[in-house]
Structure 1
């Protein structure tokens, strides 16, 4: 799996209003991009990847919209790797690898369980000004 995201030959960027409809549009855009890039929607990584993407966009819409009127999704892929990021302008950076306790931890817990189960990686990258972040997911194909 390629670990250098800038080396991935396929890229697409989508910016949407931080509204519930963004989840559906981000997922549909991912499906179209994957098809265009020759990655079949029946590939075993695709359904979990789309769920991870949906959870991350949902989290941005629910928790960051007050400070971030837009959410940006970056899609990327190569021969052996699928990657995507969800970016918002809220400064809070969640701990992706923290133990999940209690009943309210669903979304990121699901993201991490799926990501790690597929042999992927997840990282939070802060914006240079500290007022936003991107959560990057990389999955092997």
Structure 2
């Protein structure tokens, strides 16, 4: 992420309103970075972001009163991550074939359809994780 010229970090309480704020922040940030909201990657990216924040709010809030969203972009990619302090790391690529994976399966189908990548990274202490999404622009 350090190599990308545009970066923004947002920390929010783990409440349902965080989804709206994270999405609105992404829209504003992308505009400021000169990435038009009509770019074909933006709508799917906003849906992916919304699903990841929703998952953190729904499943991690008891252990993670706050979530952090990282946004970054370069000339050819948009990168974002959602971090919470719940240790469970979902099987991202397994979500595509797993029945009942819900929103995470949709997230992964969108990521792969856009030729992007998704990575779950554990915190150093093992008590939290970040889900990183990289999408080409």
The reply to whether residue 101 of structure 1 matches residue 98 of structure 2 is yes
**What is the distance in 1 between the residues matched to 2:101 and 2:92?**
11
Q: Please, which of 9, 12, 35 is the counterpart of residue 13 of structure 1?
A: 9
Question: How far did 1:7 drift?
Answer: 0.7
- Total equivalences in the alignment: 136
**What is the distance in 2 between the residues matched to 1:138 and 1:110?**
16
Question: How far did 1:105 drift?
Answer: 1.2
Partner of 2:122: 126
Give the TM-score normalised by the residue count of structure 1.
0.94
Secondary structure at 1:116's aligned position in 2? helix
Give the aligned CA root-mean-square deviation in angstroms.
0.8
- Structure 1 residue runs without a partner (length 5+): none
- Structure 2 residue runs without a partner (length 5+): none
Partner of 1:77: 73
Question: How far did 1:106 drift?
Answer: 1.3
Give the TM-score normalised by the residue count of structure 2.
0.97
Secondary structure at 1:7's aligned position in 2? coil
Runs of 4+ in structure 1 off by over 4 angstroms are none
Secondary structure at 1:13's aligned position in 2? strand
Partner of 1:23: 19
